[in-house]
């Protein structure tokens, strides 16, 4: 009886150690890379959609399932909360827990140079205002170069041909 209890405690301890190691590996992946990879796949498979700013809407895009924002030649203008929801669900369906909150993710994207931010009064805003179809909303301004496949060796560098906007 005592031998079984020892084996049970040993098995439990090993299981918990393995679970902890797995959790550390998952957390070691950069959240911004996980975000970009998931968004790239969601757009490619049309599970999420963006509308080109140049095109006239056939129907209000916000009523379409999977609509997360707009795009032009330089940026994706994403509804931040909706985009995070789809990324979170993407990993959740694979049994993977997305490692950071929405606010933390936007901060990481900023640190990695993947989004354009706005600074006012000494405060950094990770969503910026943009008037689209006559309505002014706050969007996450994601550089298109972050999503575009880049075969160059410095693909992981945040300094890949991003335009600078002067406002």
pLDDT above 90 (res 4): no
Task: Output phi, psi for 76, to 5 deg.
Answer: -100, 130
What is the per-residue pLDDT for 15?
76
The mean pLDDT of 53-80, rounded to a whole number, is 82
What is the per-residue pLDDT for 68?
95
pLDDT above 50 (res 156): no
The residue ranges of every structural domain in the chain are 31-146
The mean pLDDT of 67-91, rounded to a whole number, is 95
Cβ proximity of 71 and 115 under 8 Å: no
Buried (b) or exposed (e) across 131-164, using 16+ Cβ within 10 A?
eeeeeeeebbbbbebbbeeeeeeeeeebebebee
Instruction: Give the model confidence (pLDDT) of 86-142 as tens digits.
Output: 999 999 999 998 989 999 999 999 999 999 999 999 999 999 999 998 889 999 999
Query: Do the bridges between strand 49-52 and strand 123-125 make them parallel or antiparallel, or are there none, so unpaired?
Result: unpaired
Query: Do the bridges between strand 118-120 and strand 67-71 make them parallel or antiparallel, or are there none, so unpaired?
Result: unpaired
45: nearest Cα among 101, 90, 108: 90
Grouping H, G, I as helix, E, B as strand and the rest as coil, residue 80 is: helix
Whole-number Å distance between alpha carbons of 102 and 31: 10
For residue 77, the surrounding DSSP H or E stretch is strand 75-78
What is the per-residue pLDDT for 161?
44
Grouping H, G, I as helix, E, B as strand and the rest as coil, residue 87 is: helix
pLDDT above 50 (res 154): no
Instruction: Give the model confidence (pLDDT) of 14-61 as tens digits.
Output: 778 877 776 666 555 789 999 999 999 999 999 999 999 987 555 556
């Amino acid at each position: 009886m005592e031998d079984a209890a020892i084996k049970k405690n040993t098995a439990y301890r090993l299981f918990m150690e393995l679970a902890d190691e797995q959790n550390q590996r998952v957390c070691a992946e950069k959240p911004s890379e996980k975000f970009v990879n998931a968004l790239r796949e969601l757009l490619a498979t049309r599970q999420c959609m963006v509308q080109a700013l140049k095109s006239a809407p056939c129907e209000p895009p916000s009523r379409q399932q999977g609509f997360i924002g707009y795009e032009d030649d330089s940026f994706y203008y994403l509804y931040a909360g909706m985009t995070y929801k789809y990324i979170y669900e993407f990993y959740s369906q694979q049994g993977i827990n997305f490692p950071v909150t929405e606010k933390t993710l936007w901060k990481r994207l900023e640190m990695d140079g993947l989004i354009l931010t706005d600074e006012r009064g000494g405060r950094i805003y990770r969503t910026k205002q943009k008037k689209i179809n006559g309505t002014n909303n706050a969007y996450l301004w994601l550089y298109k170069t972050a999503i575009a496949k880049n075969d160059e060796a410095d693909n992981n560098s945040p300094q890949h041909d991003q335009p600078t906007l002067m406002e």
